[in-house]
């Protein structure tokens, strides 16, 4: 395969676009700082998790190698971009997602996370950058870093691992997390899709009540399992749970409530 270009960099690795002689394109993630033993173990953990989590809304691992000092894995090339890119594009046009559009995305993500949680796997780093699109369907990526995101880790390593803005309070303060931490982060994404910011006011009271419960500061005050989130979204009767993304492209509405792009960027990438 021939390397075409860099698609992005994260806390552990670099993702590049490769193309075969037949014209097929794939995304290949390789580890940064291969001499770092801690990074090496984290990266291998990410590969192991993704290779074993088989779900339509979780990024697939097609091939991998962890037997050398420079581990790598191959994924399909999801050319429809990330949720962050879609959100920024929509906001730049003065729009936000409708309740149908946002609820469809969140339902799919909740279903994928429920699948992972059933295997005892917590993502811990749910944010729009880690959600890719295959057509209309969202897929969750980057499963290796979240376990290590907390205040002590980031302060000590000073490498900016993870994003504080989406991190649950208990994970950030103490490095302790469970499925309710993913519920918290997903709730913030839900709010952001509907308002353009992490703190915006959701006009639909029913959805606002769901998001408030997802993002309660105390884990005990949140939904306790992701399937409870799925049931709550289903009860809205906003979406077809058999086709949650049916109204995705139609589910964008014009609004005057979106904050300026520069302000949004500065808040989203606070560490």
> For the domain that residue 53 is a member of, what is the CATH number?
3.30.200.20
Task: Specify whether 58 is located in the same domain as 10.
Answer: yes
Task: Specify whether 72 is located in the same domain as 102.
Answer: no
Q: What are 152-178's pLDDT values in tens digits? A: 554 434 333 446 789 899 888 887 889
Q: Tell me the residue range of the domain where 152 lies.
A: 83-268
57, 76, 95 — which closes off a domain? 76
Active site annotation includes 125: yes
Task: Specify whether 22 is located in the same domain as 113.
Answer: no
What is the reported pLDDT for 162? 46
The pLDDT of residue 39 is above 60: yes
pTM score: 0.83
Task: Specify whether 57 is located in the same domain as 98.
Answer: no
Task: Specify whether 38 is located in the same domain as 68.
Answer: yes
Q: How many residues comprise the chain?
A: 271
Specify the DSSP element, H or E, that contains 152: helix 151-157
35, 56, 76 — which closes off a domain? 76
Active-site residue among 36, 67, 80, 125?
Answer: 125
Q: What are 202-260's pLDDT values in tens digits? A: 999 999 999 999 999 999 999 999 999 999 999 998 887 777 777 666 667 665 444 44
Task: Specify whether 181 is located in the same domain as 57.
Answer: no
* Environment class of 174 (CB within 10 Å of its CB; exposed 0-12, middle 13-18, buried 19+): exposed
Q: How many domains does the chain have?
A: 2
Q: Which pair of structure tokens corresponds to residue 49?
A: 């998790």
Instruction: With beta carbons less than 8 A apart as the criterion, state whether 96 and 194 touch.
Output: yes
Task: Specify whether 92 is located in the same domain as 62.
Answer: no
Find the mean pLDDT for residues 54-73.
Answer: 87
Task: Specify whether 259 is located in the same domain as 129.
Answer: yes
The pLDDT of residue 263 is above 90: no
Task: Specify whether 145 is located in the same domain as 31.
Answer: no
Task: Specify whether 198 is located in the same domain as 176.
Answer: yes
What is the pLDDT of the chain when averaged over all its residues?
Answer: 82
76, 95, 123 — which closes off a domain? 76
d(CA 55, CA 108): 11
């Amino acid at each position: 395969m021939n390397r075409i270009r860099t698609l992005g960099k994260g806390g552990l690795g670099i993702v590049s676009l490769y193309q075969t002689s037949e014209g097929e394109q794939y995304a290949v993630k390789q580890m940064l700082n291969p001499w770092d033993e801690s990074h090496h173990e984290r990266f291998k953990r990410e590969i192991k998790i993704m290779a074993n989590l088989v779900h339509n809304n979780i990024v697939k691992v097609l091939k991998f190698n962890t037997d050398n000092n420079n581990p790598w894995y191959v994924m399909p090339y999801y050319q429809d971009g990330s949720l962050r890119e879609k959100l920024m594009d929509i906001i730049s046009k003065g729009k936000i997602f409708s309740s149908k559009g946002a609820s469809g995305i969140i339902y799919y993500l909740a279903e994928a996370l429920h699948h992972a949680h059933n295997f005892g796997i917590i993502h811990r780093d749910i944010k729009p950058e880690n959600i890719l699109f295959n057509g209309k369907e969202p897929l969750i990526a980057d499963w290796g870093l979240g376990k290590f995101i907390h205040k002590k880790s980031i302060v000590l390593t000073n490498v900016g691992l993870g994003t504080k803005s989406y991190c649950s309070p208990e994970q950030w303060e103490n490095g302790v997390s469970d499925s309710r931490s993913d519920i918290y982060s997903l709730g913030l994404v839900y709010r952001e899709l509907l308002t353009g910011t992490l703190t915006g006011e959701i006009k639909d009271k029913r959805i606002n009540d769901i998001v408030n419960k997802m993002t309660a500061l105390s884990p005990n005050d949140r939904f306790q399992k992701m399937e409870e989130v799925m049931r709550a979204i289903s009860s809205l009767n906003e979406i077809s749970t058999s086709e949650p993304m049916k109204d995705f492209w139609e589910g964008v509405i014009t609004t005057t409530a979106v904050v300026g792009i520069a302000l949004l960027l500065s808040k989203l990438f606070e560490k």
